[in-house]
């Protein structure tokens, strides 16, 4: 049987996209947010394949995760092989590094290999923004960011695109240098008030939205108290339960996640020792199967573990744009 190929690469070649190649495409965050919301809709219909991510752990609190996924509607099939090494910044290296392989959905052949750092930053911010669209108060004005690194930047960028009334960011980082850099860069980029604060408590209290993006710890020493978090607030931890005390998580009226199965898988691995029942997955809220925010005083948290469907769908966007613009290097298989 002849296989009908729509791929523009009949020769056995892969397109290699370096970090600089991906970045120079300058894909607007709005487009990534749209892709991530679309992919959650497909998840709600059960039309995606996204097994929980297995990993290896060569250093303390470090990981290399294998994240395969398939989204038929977008013909997006592939795997991200992503590392997070907390000691890297001490050696002048970023915490996150990795590669993503896209496969032709008809033949299985790899068609593209790309650096995955841009995608990891943007799709995570986009997922927070999509969740905020349904779960944060519409008139959210104040955002607390704890951890002013890559995610602290991309989450702010994505949230400004969805939360139009944001006025002030309270930023906290354990590193004074990183905090100062963040304040200067983000003030120039977003035209909001970016206020450095000198305690985690000050970055949580009175904030309408709180994003925690410090390190993920297998044995967390969480410090955020229930009483710090404002009624009506929306919280999105990206660092698992490392920052939020169990009582603070339990004080939420709605505890959501991006994927129940993955949360269960991590519990088996020893994470999330003390969390409440999941109210809903984000995908079920977007699709209308479950209510999102129902009043202005609800306390809502969405625990995002990061899903490979977000990665492969965003990677398709990157791949298509790169082909159109003739960016990247063709390599023989």
Alpha-carbon distance of 102 to 81, in angstroms, equals 12
Site string for ligand NAD, 152-171 (x = CB under 6 A): x-------------------
Candidate residues 34, 178, 187, 253; the one interacting with ligand NAD per rule CB under 6 A: 178
Candidate residues 100, 146, 263, 318; the one interacting with ligand NAD per rule CB under 6 A: 146
Closest CA to 312 of 42, 68, 104, 126: 68
**Active-site position among 43, 80, 133, 245:** 80
Q: Provide the 3-class DSSP secondary structure of residue 70.
A: strand
Alpha-carbon distance of 200 to 147, in angstroms, equals 10
Paired tokens of 84: 């997070």
Candidate residues 104, 239, 281, 284; the one interacting with ligand NAD per rule CB under 6 A: 239
Q: Which residue is nearest to ligand NAD (CB)?
A: 149
Does 220 participate in binding ligand NAD (rule CB under 6 A)?
Answer: no
Does 216 participate in binding ligand NAD (rule CB under 6 A)?
Answer: yes
> Are 70 and 48 within 8 A, CB to CB?
yes
Paired tokens of 312: 């492969």
Paired tokens of 15: 């397109």
Q: Is 164 a catalytic residue?
A: no
Alpha-carbon distance of 40 to 258, in angstroms, equals 9
Least distance to ligand NAD, CB of residue 305, Å: 5
Least distance to ligand NAD, CB of residue 1, Å: 40
Residue 239 DSSP label: S
Least distance to ligand NAD, CB of residue 6, Å: 31
Q: Any bridge partners for residue 207, and if so which?
A: none
Does 174 participate in binding ligand NAD (rule CB under 6 A)?
Answer: yes
Closest CA to 131 of 267, 272, 259: 259
Window 10-69: residues binding ligand NAD (CB under 6 A): none
Sites of contact with ligand NAD (CB under 6 A): 84, 89, 95-96, 120, 124, 146-152, 172-175, 178, 213-216, 238-239, 304-306
């Amino acid at each position: 049987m002849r296989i009908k190929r729509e791929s523009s690469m009949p020769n056995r070649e892969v397109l290699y996209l370096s970090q600089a190649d991906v970045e120079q495409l300058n894909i607007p965050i709005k487009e990534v947010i749209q892709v991530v919301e679309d992919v959650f809709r497909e998840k709600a219909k059960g039309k995606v394949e996204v097994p929980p991510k297995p990993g290896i752990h060569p250093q303390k609190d470090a990981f290399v995760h294998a994240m395969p996924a398939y989204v038929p509607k977008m013909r997006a099939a592939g795997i991200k092989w992503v590392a997070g090494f907390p000691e890297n910044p001490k050696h002048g290296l970023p915490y996150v590094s990795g590669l993503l392989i896209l496969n032709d959905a008809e033949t299985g052949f790899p068609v593209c290999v790309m650096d995955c750092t841009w995608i990891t930053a943007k799709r995570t911010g986009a997922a927070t923004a999509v969740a905020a669209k349904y779960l944060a108060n519409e008139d959210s004005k104040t955002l607390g960011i704890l951890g002013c690194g890559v995610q602290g930047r991309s989450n702010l960028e994505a949230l400004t695109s969805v939360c139009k009334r944001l006025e002030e960011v309270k930023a906290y980082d354990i590193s004074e240098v990183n905090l100062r850099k963040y304040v200067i860069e983000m003030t120039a980029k977003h035209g909001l008030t970016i206020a450095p604060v000198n305690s985690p408590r000050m970055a949580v209290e009175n904030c309408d939205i709180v994003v925690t993006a410090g390190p993920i710890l297998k044995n967390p020493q969480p410090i955020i108290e229930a009483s710090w978090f404002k009624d009506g607030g929306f919280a999105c931890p990206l660092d698992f339960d490392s920052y939020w005390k169990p009582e603070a998580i339990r004080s939420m009226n709605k505890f959501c996640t991006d994927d129940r199965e993955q949360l269960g898988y991590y519990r088996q691995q020893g994470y999330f020792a003390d969390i409440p029942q999941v109210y809903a997955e984000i995908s079920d809220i977007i699709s209308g199967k479950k209510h999102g925010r129902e009043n202005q005083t609800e306390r809502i948290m969405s625990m995002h573990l990061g899903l490979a469907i977000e990665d492969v769908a965003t990677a398709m966007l990157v791949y298509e744009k790169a082909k159109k613009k003739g960016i990247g290097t063709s390599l023989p298989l």
